[in-house]
Structure 1
Amino acid sequence: MSNRIYPDISKIENLAQKSTFLMDGITCAATLHTPLETDKKQYPAILMLGGWGSIQQLLTLPYINHFVKAGFAVMEFDYPGWGLSSGWPRQDINPWTRVKTANAALAHLKNQTQVDAHAIYLWGTSFGGGHVVDLAEQHPDLKGAIIQVPMLDGLAAVRAVPITKLAKFISLGFVDFVKPGSPVHIPTLSEAGEFGSMDKDRAWEALQTALHAHNAKKYDNRVTARSLLTVSFYRSWKKLKDIKIPMLIIGATHDTVAPFVPEKIKDAGNPLLKVIEMDADHFDPYFEPCFPKTVKHQLNFLEQIQTM
């Protein structure tokens, strides 16, 4: 087990412009990162989709910095009810609502004056990797997509949960779903063996290391119990066969949070899918020593498809 080191974010060489967009009347917060240089009017752009308990920049800023340095504009956003976005209930997850939000974010990105609307790429991690598959299937006009440690088969993830813990998830989820008033929340991340929606692959350590690197004092470590009821039904791998843009899939062979499903990717029979398997767990790609290799694969992929 290697020690994780958060990539250096002390030298941030980009401009960050905050904005908002609407999704079904909900105000969602976004940040567009662009290179410091001003001689170029428009940039190719990457829309970043965070994972299960994501908020802007917490684990993604090192990737943003590398993509901006490579000449891309990069936009992140907070899902409804998370981070700086409005919406109720707070800390709720519905994958299909999130894909709808990602569509609104994509439209917002295309309208930015600094962005070349005809050169848009998608990037998604963890649960957001599944959303990228949905979005890419809906938008064959996009240039390409990258997904890392993606949640492609929610059923596989549910099957990896111990039966006693799964029973508690389901019971709390149904209580939360039917009860009026304030929702029932559980911890989003927890220490190994403790109760929470993610306690594997040193999830708690990953959160604490990232918070320390960002000098962040707190993270709203809650998710509605009803959110857990949606996971097994979210199986975006079924749409891989319909993807019509180049897609890089980086899977972690020791991922126990979102188990990698290479056989399902292979069954899609789609030549536009490029798969790289890494000897890593779910959170390793965000940290040294895995991060440099992961981001290098992604930058090489972007360079290759830009010339297509």
Structure 2
Amino acid sequence: MSVRQYPETSHIDKNVSKSNFLSDGVECSATLHVPVTQQKKQLPAILMVGGWGSVQGALTDSFINHFIAQGYAVMEFDYPGWGLSGGFPRQDINPWKRVKTAHNALAHLKNQQQVNAHQIIVWGTSFGGGHVVDLVVDHPELKGAIIQVPMLDGISTVRSVPLPQMMKFFGYGMVDRLKPGARICIPTVAKPGELGAMDRDRAWDAMQLAKDTLKIDYDNRVTARSLLTMGFYRPWKRLKHVKIPMLIVGATQDTVAPFVAEKIKRVNNSLIEVKTIDADHFDPYFEPFFSKNLAYQLAFLNRLEHLSACA
């Protein structure tokens, strides 16, 4: 078991601007990062689509800074009810509503003055990796997509949960769904064996390392009813409809969102490139695995730039 270290990133000169966009009438928070040394009026851009319990600035900053160093504008956002976004109930997850928010975030990014709307790549992690599949199928005009440690099959994810924990999830979820009034929440991240949506793959250690390094607070809660949606969300089935270049970086030891390599292979889509890392779900965010993960992603971005130059 490797000792995790938060990736070091040299200082990046960038301009950071906050803005808001609407999703189903809810005001959502977004942050656009733009390199100050870039002289072009409009830049290629990357839309960051976060995972299950993600908020802006949590485990994404190292990727953002490296992408900015490559000359990209990068935008991240908070889902309704999470982070700096409005909306109630708080800390609730519905994957299909989140995909709709991602569509609205993409429209918002395209309207940014600094962004070339015809040169956008979508990046997703964990649960957000599945959202990216849904997003790019509906937007074949996008330049490309990257998804890392993606949750592509809810059934495989549910099956990876130990039975006693699964029964607790179901019980809390049903009570939360049926009872009136305030929602019932459980921890998003928990120590091994404790009640929490993610208690495996050293999830607790990952959260603590990120909090200590980035000096951020984190509302470690998710509504229990959110867990009931997981088994019905299976974005891998739409991979066959992807019509743009896509890189998938999977972790072979992932027990939080098991990597479904055989399902991806079955799709047989020549536009999809697969790379693997012998790691668990959270390892690719940290060294010693981050560098290899990032290298795959930067090489993919470079190939996209080459294809654009040749077109």
Q: Structure 1-normalised TM-score?
A: 0.98
1:238 matched residue in structure 2: 237
Per-residue Cα deviation, 1:97-142 (whole angstroms, up to 9, x for no partner) = 0000000000000000000000000000000000000001110000
2:56 matched residue in structure 1: 56
> Helix, strand or coil: the match of 2:173?
helix
Range moving further from structure 2, 172-181 or 232-241: 172-181
1:103 matched residue in structure 2: 103
2:215 matched residue in structure 1: 215
Q: Partners of 1:270 and 1:198 in 2: how far apart?
A: 31
2:116 matched residue in structure 1: 116
How many residues are treated as equivalent by the alignment?
A: 307
2:22 matched residue in structure 1: 22
Residue 39 of structure 1 pairs with residue 39 of structure 2? yes
> Helix, strand or coil: the match of 2:146?
strand
Q: How does 1:136-147 map to 2 (within 5 A)?
A: 136-147=136-147
Q: Look up the equivalent residue of 1:270 and give its one-letter code.
A: N
Query: Closer, same or farther in 2 for the Cα pair 1:38/1:306, shift >3 Å?
Result: closer
2:199 matched residue in structure 1: 199
1:261 matched residue in structure 2: 260
> Is the 8 Å Cα contact of residues 80 and 88 (structure 2) preserved in structure 1?
yes
Q: Partners of 2:303 and 2:10 in 1: how far apart?
A: 29
Query: Closer, same or farther in 2 for the Cα pair 1:307/1:81, shift >3 Å?
Result: same
Q: Partners of 1:291 and 1:151 in 2: how far apart?
A: 19
2:83 matched residue in structure 1: 83
Q: Partners of 1:79 and 1:22 in 2: how far apart?
A: 11
Query: Closer, same or farther in 2 for the Cα pair 1:132/1:272, shift >3 Å?
Result: same
Query: Closer, same or farther in 2 for the Cα pair 1:69/1:277, shift >3 Å?
Result: same
> Is the 8 Å Cα contact of residues 81 and 92 (structure 1) preserved in structure 2?
yes
Query: Closer, same or farther in 2 for the Cα pair 1:10/1:66, shift >3 Å?
Result: closer
1:33 Cα deviation after fit: 0.4
1:176 matched residue in structure 2: 176
2:303 matched residue in structure 1: 304
> Is the 8 Å Cα contact of residues 137 and 239 (structure 1) preserved in structure 2?
yes
> Is the 8 Å Cα contact of residues 12 and 69 (structure 2) preserved in structure 1?
no
Q: Look up the equivalent residue of 1:47 and give its one-letter code.
A: L
> Is the 8 Å Cα contact of residues 15 and 33 (structure 1) preserved in structure 2?
yes
1:62 Cα deviation after fit: 0.1
Structure 2 portions without partners, runs of 5+: none
Q: Partners of 1:197 and 1:295 in 2: how far apart?
A: 27
Q: Look up the equivalent residue of 1:257 and give its one-letter code.
A: V
* Identical residues among aligned pairs (%): 63
Q: Partners of 2:6 and 2:198 in 1: how far apart?
A: 20
1:10 Cα deviation after fit: 6.4
Q: Partners of 2:279 and 2:15 in 1: how far apart?
A: 32
> Helix, strand or coil: the match of 1:117?
strand
1:13 Cα deviation after fit: 2.6
Residue 161 of structure 1 pairs with residue 161 of structure 2? yes
Q: Partners of 1:235 and 1:13 in 2: how far apart?
A: 39
> Helix, strand or coil: the match of 2:44?
strand
1:289 matched residue in structure 2: 288
> Is the 8 Å Cα contact of residues 46 and 73 (structure 1) preserved in structure 2?
yes
Q: Partners of 2:269 and 2:186 in 1: how far apart?
A: 38
> Helix, strand or coil: the match of 2:295?
helix
Q: Partners of 1:244 and 1:237 in 2: how far apart?
A: 14
> Is the 8 Å Cα contact of residues 144 and 247 (structure 1) preserved in structure 2?
yes
1:9 Cα deviation after fit: 4.6
- For the aligned residues, what is the CA RMSD? 0.8
Q: Partners of 1:38 and 1:54 in 2: how far apart?
A: 29
Q: Partners of 2:278 and 2:39 in 1: how far apart?
A: 41
> Is the 8 Å Cα contact of residues 13 and 65 (structure 1) preserved in structure 2?
no
> Is the 8 Å Cα contact of residues 27 and 86 (structure 2) preserved in structure 1?
yes
Query: What stretches of structure 1 move > 6 A for 4+ residues in a row?
Result: none
Q: Look up the equivalent residue of 1:75 and give its one-letter code.
A: M
